[in-house]
Structure 1
Amino acid sequence: MPLQGQYAHAPTVSVTLPCFNAEATLPACLDSLLAQTWRDFEIVAVDDGSTDRTGEVLREYARRDGRVRPVFAAHGGVAAAANLALEKAGGRYVARMDADDLALPERLASQVGWLETRPKVGLVGSRVRFGGDRKAARGYALYVDWTNRQMTSEAIALNRFVESPFAFPSVMFRRELYFEHGGFRSGDFPEDYEFLLRLLDRGVVMEKVDAELLIWNDPPTRLTRNDPRYDPKAFYRVKARYLGRWLAANNRRHPAVGVIGAGRPSRKRSEMLVDHNIEIVEYYDLDPKKIGQVVSGRPVLDRELVPPPGQRFLLSYVASRGAREDIAAFLRSRGYVAGRDWLAVA
């Protein structure tokens, strides 16, 4: 499909910006984009049926700068608005943005340069600066710190089942990926995480610019705080589907796996894999109260009894801070290699 669309001269970058009742934060967001050092871009801003002054803000900015292209739609949700923006986009590259975040001045220039010089990379993100209160939102801030450590294509691919390895408003991708793999899907899951998992599943290489290029704000109205599609169960549902596919392709002992973590949360999350034809053979744990039990027909074994590498693929479903690192160190000491013999998935 041609990338020029209705354009005589398509911009290099289309910034796609879904907006819903964003009048309070939208001006600062647009100002940050219009202050970019890279000038050859458009902002395809979809007003998703807002009931506040979002539409008026967009019209005013469009009058001042022709690169702002408002699109008005009935309220259909963020996935529908993001897809409409993609349909209207004319750029070679698509930069995703949210109306409550701020792009730092070199964002577009840095990411265009990255994609221009790395033809095998399909999607690039960046480190981001947490824009909330680190004390009041400590968990969210620590998640941002974690994403900022997932920089290389190897780290991103290996850790995709722990959490989403990107602050999604920081990503830029080649627009042909939309035509090859589709846009954002609506469902009982986070549409941005599903999009990333789908592209990784299909072999798209993803990297990050080693620089802070976005301020990722944390307002109380953020969807990740209020929408059931972003609660932990929703993440684990979509994660289980793509993890099942990954295991079918990479587990030498497929469909059998062992699970490290025999607590109730770990078991509930790992059980989602059963619906994707994965066989959980046993659990491993440290807690002497759990060791020796049989849960759903599966024994709970002391983790010291993990077999040698290659005999059982292991999944770590322990998410508490420090425990994931402890398990990684333990398995390394036994000769396990992440991605070959085991994965952290929580």
Structure 2
Amino acid sequence: MAGIYTHIPFCFSRCGYCDFYKTTRLDRIGPFVSVLMKEIEHYSSDLNERIETVYFGGGTPSLISVKDYRDIFKQLRDNYDIADSAEITMEANPDDINEDYLDAMLQIGFNRISIGIQSFHDRDLKEMGRRHNSVQALQAVNIANKAGFDNISIDLIYGLSWGDIGSFRENLSVLKGMPVQHISAYHLTFEEGTPFWQLLKRGIYKEIKDSESTEQYQELCRFLADEGFEHYEVSNFCKPSFHSRHNSSYWNHTPYIGFGPGSHSYYDGVRRWNKPDLSLYLRSEWDSIVESEILDNRDLVNEIVMLGLRTARGLDTGRIRALDESYYELVLISSRKWLDAGHLIMDGQYIRCPEDSWFIVDGIIKDIFI
């Protein structure tokens, strides 16, 4: 099995916290789609496995027209073996969503939607530079549900500089009974180069205390467990059988191919990525767009550690042992102090991090890296 990721880099405006590659040059959507069609065909012989997941991320994929999506899907199906049962996801902003558009997306082939809610509080949305308001956030979920999407994911952000545990609890309470099957919840980060980074450096924003972050994360986990969500990865929660198959394929090192500026691919032991430059991408000069690196066993082991320990299933030490016995021994030695402290648990050939230690798992991972 394999996956396809397509990066749609267009946004109406820039959110203060976002460091993904994007552009507000909406006049370039037409030329972008034309080049994307060429790219899809150009790499069609590189990935011959059956495609089980297709994901359109951004940027703002919901800015692409119905006609353009019809053309893109035809090109994908003409050039790749996409399974009838494939999970096909589009990211969407609440203010772009209407029933006619989503009806068309379902007919084209999308069967999962990921809505960038981020918060149900107007102040939060305004501070983050989001264009939608709390009413539109609620409406977006209901419109998607009414249109017929039965696999709806939403994104939330916690750990906001101006928030507290009370406002966060209010945010969570809105989720009660909401027709969503998946939630991705991310702590606010201040990424270098973003407007929020500048505000942090100027002292206008501050990072919240670790104790406050932990309290919000624990509240998130408790609330969603009570609502019937499974916590299957550090930042991801789902109703039974509704885990993100696409994201899970990344964590399991399934091959995938990426299209669009800033996208990444991984297959045949090589990681490739398109430079995040729309102007360069529009020239269709593939050799100058793509950069790559061959992953050696050490790189692969560190990736297996990083991705595995962030999941509920845990790190499959058998995969490491199959790659390199000496690295396997090093990982076991490095894990010992965390196992003794109870922050890791040995479960057969898996080493997993219990939920109450997930908030510190990034530090554990760095310590285990070889």
Same fold (TM > 0.5): no
Normalising to structure 1: TM-score of the pair? 0.25
Question: Of the two, which has the highest radius of gyration?
Answer: 1
Which of the pair is proportionally richer in helix?
2
